[in-house]
Amino acid sequence: MFSAALALPVEAASLRMAWAQDATGLDPHTQTAFSSLRLLELIYEPLVRLDGKLNVVPAIAESWSFSEDGTTLTFKLDPDAKFSDGTPVTAADVKASFERLLDEATGAAARSNFLSIAAIDTPDDGTVVFTLSQPDAPILVAMATINAAVVPTSAITAGSIGTTALGSGPFKLDQWDPNSREVLRANPEWAGGELAIDGITISVLPDETAILASLRAGQTDFALLNDPLIATLVPNEPNLQLNAIPGLAYNVLQLNPSRAPMDNLLVRQAISCAVNRQEVLDTALVGEGQVTGPLTMPAYASDPSTLFCYEQDLEKAKALMEEAGMADGFKATVIAASGEPPVASAEAQVLQSQLAEIGVDLEIKIMELNVFVDTWLAGDFDMAVAQNGGRPDPYPMYNRYFTKDGNLLAVSNYVDDELDSLMQQGRIETDPAKRKEIFGRFEAHLVEMAPWIWLSTSNTYTAQLKTVSGFEPSPTGTLFGLTKVSVTP
């Protein structure tokens, strides 16, 4: 338990918030669970961030520029940026943070997004110069994530990252009682301006039914919701407001191509053809979302119906199984997390029923989130029902899974020369039309090879009392919009 509890002033306009899934850790570089990222985005800052329209905007850096050949990226830091203990954020902190990210021993979630960084220079305390081994068009988008947060050099040296939380973000963590509550206090050192609330008290409630009851009773001001069934009930409540926005995250059935019989392309394709994606969406997500291919970002998304076997075709699926020598089917286990997303179990049940039509006997294994994440990161599964985060650019979204240097290859267990080549082409290409064509070919090949079966995107939801105003939702699901919130007594 992390605790440095300081009582909020009696007059504090603190926001009472609730969610059903707590953070699993405090290291911004290594965390992959959405619940952890949502908390850490309020405490730490990257060099740049994404606004509600997915544009890259300043955070710790106030400006940046590429050299003409695209191999040098220079940042000027905000001179007012400070960590919550009052110490300035300097170029040395940025350098140390990215060196930590690039160190394989760290196990950084986004490490492979930054492998083009050949050198980091700090000509003065307010300037950081990244020398790149090649042009890297998506590196700015890759930096606009909490997995690329700037942390204090002192905390890296002390080895305290993950046990304490010292960031330069809008809030500081005063107390964390895992699976119970967090107490955040407004960070007076934050360079982003004064907040209208003095802090946030986050309660971890048993499920989203309990969250809705707490909102109805006026005991919670603001809540993060993941269950579309609960979210659709909010507009019926006279004192509540629902914030819903299409998200970039995607729901997916991940196959493990390193295990038989999923190592057989024909079997993977048969599974893809057997899945009725719209039925999964309508049943498990009560129709709240869209059937999607791998590219969920608006600038690159294609018509899913143009992709391989996106319309259920059981006859083709059975023929593929027979061709693979698997006409009698096989047994497999699919893992899913109990709380993130809450629809995972329902998705697994629909998929279990659909795959039974081609002889796949699917056992469902529900795990606590922290156990699921560890199992998922180790790639220790036959199949997994997951919800993975999206990015505005395909390269930082997928290179860590589907390139030879990807640091999450253990999750995908899939290497493909064509995917790797297309990823590298898209990385160095700067012309938007050419990049869209390259990643369109990447998407089509990925779906045809079927290491995973993409299902749908979801909406991101928050709910609030009508006494709360100013929240700005984002397609990324971030709660950074709480910096604009005020509460009317």
The CA-CA-CA angle for residues 247, 427, 96, to 5°, reads 85
What is the rounded CA–CA span in Å between residue 203 and residue 212? Answer: 13
Q: Is the pLDDT of residue 10 over 60?
A: no
Give the residue with greater pLDDT, 481 vs 13. Answer: 481
Q: Is the pLDDT of residue 5 over 70?
A: no
Give the residue among 157, 185, 192, 151 at the shortest CA–CA distance from 171: 185
Angle, helix 417-428 to helix 432-449, in steps of 10 degrees: 160
Q: Could you report the per-residue pLDDT of 266-323, keeping only the tens digit for each?
A: 999 999 999 999 999 999 999 999 999 999 999 999 999 999 999 999 999 999 999 9
Structure confidence at residue 1 as a pLDDT band (50, 70, 90): very low
Contact 107, 408 (CB under 8 A): no
H or E segment to which residue 396 belongs:
helix 394-402
Tokens 């899934």, residue? Answer: 21
Q: Is the pLDDT of residue 327 over 70?
A: yes
**The pLDDT value given to residue 489:** 81
Give the residue among 67, 183, 199, 84 at the shortest CA–CA distance from 134: 67
What is the rounded CA–CA span in Å between residue 366 and residue 372? Answer: 8
Structure confidence at residue 175 as a pLDDT band (50, 70, 90): very high
What is the overall mean pLDDT for the chain?
Answer: 95
Structure confidence at residue 9 as a pLDDT band (50, 70, 90): very low
| Stretch 185-200: mean pLDDT | 96
Contact 205, 219 (CB under 8 A): no
Q: Is the pLDDT of residue 337 over 90?
A: yes
What is the rounded CA–CA span in Å between residue 190 and residue 481? Answer: 15
Q: Could you report the per-residue pLDDT of 262-282, keeping only the tens digit for each?
A: 999 999 999 999 999 999 999
What is the rounded CA–CA span in Å between residue 178 and residue 190? Answer: 25
**The pLDDT value given to residue 429:** 95
Count of CA atoms in the C-beta half-sphere (13 A) of 63: 5
List the domains of the chain with CATH numbers: 2-7+165-246+459-487 (3.40.190.10), 25-33+44-158 (3.90.76.10), 247-458 (3.10.105.10)
Task: Give the phi and the psi of residue 215 in degrees, each rounded to 5.
Answer: -65, -45
What is the rounded CA–CA span in Å between residue 229 and residue 231? Answer: 5
Q: Could you report the per-residue pLDDT of 452-466, keeping only the tens digit for each?
A: 999 999 999 999 999
Q: Could you report the per-residue pLDDT of 361-414, keeping only the tens digit for each?
A: 999 999 999 999 999 999 999 999 999 999 999 999 999 999 999 999 999 999
Q: Is the pLDDT of residue 12 over 60?
A: no
Structure confidence at residue 2 as a pLDDT band (50, 70, 90): very low
